[in-house]
Amino acid sequence: VFAGSSSIRRWEELTLDFADYNVLQRGLGGATFATYMPHVQNAIIANSPRAVVVWLGTNDIAGGLPGSGVVDAFSQFAGTIHNSLPQTEIFYLGIMPTPGRQGNRSQENVANAGIAALATGDARIHYIDLPAVFDGLGAYNGTDFTSKFVDSIHLNRAGYNVWETIVRPAVMSEFAPDKVFTLNPQTLKAGERLLYDFGTIDGDDGNLTAGPDANGNHWSSWPTADGGTRVVAGEHQGGLVDTTGRDTGIALTITADFDSNGKLHGGLFNPDPNLLGDLAVGSATVDFFFSTGDGKQGGGDDDMAGGFKLEGLNPQLSYDFKFFGSRATTETRITEYTVTGAEAQSVQLITSGNNIGADRAYDGNNSSVAEVIGVRPDAFGQIFIDLTLIQGSFAYINAMEMRAVPEPNSLAILLTSLTLGGIARRRRTLN
């Protein structure tokens, strides 16, 4: 279990970085030891983990708790876990320097030294010296240091890559990767498809897409989202169905936060099947998940980075993906979809903009999908999809099709509409 504050929740590639471990991502935005303690039972103890990796303490000190108080709070945290799970090992991520909290360094040092001392006296506790590594990057003003942050306290993807190079070896030194692949007997067979509706089911902003639709296809839909409600890393849905309605045993796990909206906020009401094929189902195109992460300083808000994982796939097959994203607004907005299994592919899609529709009047995408061809899952039957905001205010995903195919296609990326500079643009029908 990875537990802690928003830096755990925002670690978009955590499940990819530890793809060969059974990982639960249990971060709470703004958490301190005091605010996390009520969640220890459900987030940690109930899952009986072999290990807990914890990032807490920085917000405690920012809120006025002295370093010695953080040591005491950690002792209570560790004691609560060990009272129920005496063999569970705890890896404490030392409070590292951040651009916006230089004034807290003296108390951070007290906390780090105290917890490191506890680790020397208890073989179940491990102190990971993040501060030494980030000091080595030139804290607080060196370019190598500041380039690892998206804002004054939060890491960007380059920063999380540094974490991965430190945290993963520390965990591996105590525990070998423990994930075991078991073939899912229900999974998609070659030629079978899965359709997925991202969005809300509150009736006001969106509706459940189930099936059969007008084409006779069944869908899976995210089950709980209301418009404007955050979908957070770690949320999980199992039992996705294929287009016949058969349970495939495939599961979807959110790896980075999304928000959701739809009907009241520019969703596509009347999709044209001549342009979008089987994705042209109104209840699927009218609502959407959206994200804001772009990994840039002063750019989008990476608190909502947007990503998910599919598991229960067959590593002996490859998979083709179609992504549809749209919201009607005059601002040009471009989303990048990165699909990672045994290899990674990326494709971009213009989702919004002045008169980008097929009729040259609609301000949303109503005619283009982005397609990624021939992605093989990793050895554990997993594929990871990450959204990145390339231009504008938001990145979108309304609907997705995944098709199992017998072997990898030699074409890496296919855009199903006219392209310019690698960006999927609108498709116009011939008159």
pLDDT band, very low/low/confident/very high, at 431 (cuts 50, 70, 90) = very low
- pLDDT, mean of residues 253-259: 96
Q: List, for residues 84-110, the tens digit of each pLDDT value.
A: 999 999 999 999 999 999 999 999 999
Query: Is residue 289's pLDDT more than 60?
Result: yes
419-420 and 333-340 beta bridge pairing: unpaired
Q: For the domain bounded by 2-172, which CATH number is listed?
A: 3.40.50.1110
How does DSSP classify residue 377?
A: P
pLDDT at 211: 85
Amino acid at 363: D
Q: List, for residues 329-373, the tens digit of each pLDDT value.
A: 999 999 999 999 999 999 999 999 999 999 999 999 999 999 999
Query: Is residue 136's pLDDT more than 60?
Result: yes
Q: List, for residues 390-425, the tens digit of each pLDDT value.
A: 999 999 999 999 999 996 443 444 444 333 334 443
Residue 229: partners with Cβ closer than 8 Å, 6 or more residues away: 200, 259, 260
**Contact of 8 with 305, CB cutoff 8 Å:** no
How does DSSP classify residue 188?
A: P
Cβ neighbourhood burial of 141 (10 Å; 0-12, 13-18, 19+): exposed
193 SS3 class: strand
What is d(CA 290, CA 395) in angstroms, rounded to the nearest whole number? 5
% of the chain exceeding 70 in pLDDT: 93
DSSP letters for 306-361 = -EEEEES--TTSEEEEEEE-----SS-EEEEEEEESSSEEEEEEEEE-TT-STTS-
List the single range of 72-76, 259-263, 313-317 with lowest mean pLDDT.
259-263
pLDDT at 418: 33
Q: List, for residues 38-49, the tens digit of each pLDDT value.
A: 999 999 999 999
- pLDDT, mean of residues 34-62: 99
Q: ω before 92 within 30° of 0 (cis)?
A: no
pLDDT at 44: 99
Which residues face 234 on adjacent strands? none
Residue with structure tokens 């750019």?
299
What is d(CA 112, CA 70) in angstroms, rounded to the nearest whole number? 9
**Helix (H) or strand (E) run with residue 102 in it:** none
- pLDDT, mean of residues 12-34: 97
What is d(CA 400, CA 383) in angstroms, rounded to the nearest whole number? 14
Average pLDDT, the chain: 93
Query: Is residue 2's pLDDT more than 90?
Result: yes
pLDDT at 163: 99
% of the chain exceeding 90 in pLDDT: 88
**Contact of 158 with 147, CB cutoff 8 Å:** yes
pLDDT at 430: 27
Map out the domains of the chain as residue ranges: 2-172, 193-424
